[in-house]
A = this chain, B = another copy of it.
Amino acid sequence: MLRVGLLGAGRIGQVHAVNIAGNAGSTLAAVSDFNKEAAETLAAKYGAAARDTADILADDSIDAVLVATSTDTHSDLIEAATAAGKAVLCEKPVDLSLERAKACLAKSAPTGAPVMIGFNRRFDPNFAAVKAAAEAGEIGKSEMLSVTSFDPAPPPVSYIKVSGGLFRDMMIHDFDMANFIMGSLPVSVQAVGTSIVDPEIGAAGDVDTAIVTLRYADGRLAVIRNSRRAVYGYDQRVELLGSDGLLSADNILENTVSKSTVAGVTAAKPEFFFLERYMRAYAIEWQAFLDAVSGGTPMPVSLEDGIAALALAEAATESASTGQPVEIAL
């Protein structure tokens, strides 16, 4: 039974709390948050203790921490927790700075404490099935990957300003998906971006709509499409063309009902946003972390994976700004 400290009691922390508490292999032992009330409310719900982060890290009865705090604290907390010998599951991204993330790896790796980055989409059963089918050779040799990833609505511009930009904040998930499915890093990144959804986002120095193409050393290609706004819901699709066929993972719809009238045939929309779409993925992710910790096996998504996605995000940010392709060298 893994005793877990949850750092961060916000929206995503609450999702993790359900899985930690509900899993037969783990107990939610403690919760911390800079907002003490939030920590107390969440802790109470699961019979856990609301405590300071330092306190939790110093407690030898805590085996692992889940880092669900704001991005700017991730690197520090990974370093502190691994130094304290805790297993760590940290929400993505590792950091907004590639340099800082690399430093975090340099510091935490020698501790030997396992660190996993929370790229939840790898645990979506649909995307995982695409990966498995491709690896099983069901479509022969992979040639071209397409990732579609549209949010239902943009966040407030105030958030945009501190987000690190669309490529680091949003497309980083899709970069990791490309790394996951393709199994290696691209050699070059080309990006175009625009702020057509909301000019305020452009005024804040960011884009809200972008297309990125990736080129791999062996000739494979990939393309990622992002938009901050798809009014019909969270559009999350993956398509992989190979020498023997095509694999497609489509959206999960709100229900299976269709209505046929003189106006056409109307079906349900995609699940609204990540909490709905990836609810199952978060539970599977937590189980995967537990399995790796208890089995002493490699983390299914490593800190290095987090850095790789960040490197692509940084390159895309540069490419979208200069209009030039950017070479990837990690």
Contact = CB atoms under 8 A, between A and B. Distances in A.
Interface in A196-244: 196-197, 209-211, 213, 215, 218-221, 223, 225, 227, 229-233, 235, 241, 243-244
B126 A257 contact: yes
Contacts of A323: 188, 325
A249 interface: yes
Nearest to A196: B219
Interface string A161-202: 000000000000000000000000000101010111100000
A177 to B, nearest CB: 14
Interface stretch (A90-98, A260-268, A283-291): A260-268
A110 to B, nearest CB: 39
B213 A196 contact: no
A263 B141 CA distance: 17
Contact of A229 (B229, B231, B243): B243
A256 interface: yes
Nearest to A254: B125
A266 B269 contact: no
A245 interface: yes
Nearest to A325: B323
A23 interface: no
Contacts of A243: 197, 229, 231
A16 to B, nearest CB: 16
A225 B225 CA distance: 12
Given A225-B146, A227-B241, A267-B265, A232 B251 contact: no
Given A215-B192, A243-B231, A269-B265, A138 B248 contact: no
Contacts of A223: 211, 223, 225
B196 A143 contact: yes
Nearest to A323: B325
Nearest to A133: B259
A115 interface: no
B209 A143 contact: yes
Interface string A261-303: 1111111111000000000000000000000000000000000
Contacts of A125: 255
B268 A245 contact: no
B190 A261 contact: no
Interface of A: 22, 24, 45, 125-126, 129-130, 133, 138-139, 141, 143-144, 146, 150, 188, 190, 192, 194-197, 209-211, 213, 215, 218-221, 223, 225, 227, 229-233, 235, 241, 243-253, 255-270, 323-325
14 contacts: A125-B255, A143-B197, A190-B190, A196-B219, A213-B213, A227-B241, A230-B245, A231-B261, A232-B261, A245-B259, A247-B257, A248-B259, A249-B255, A253-B265
Given A144-B225, A245-B259, A264-B268, 14 more contacts: A190-B190, A190-B213, A194-B219, A210-B221, A230-B245, A231-B244, A231-B262, A232-B246, A232-B262, A246-B260, A247-B258, A249-B256, A250-B257, A265-B268
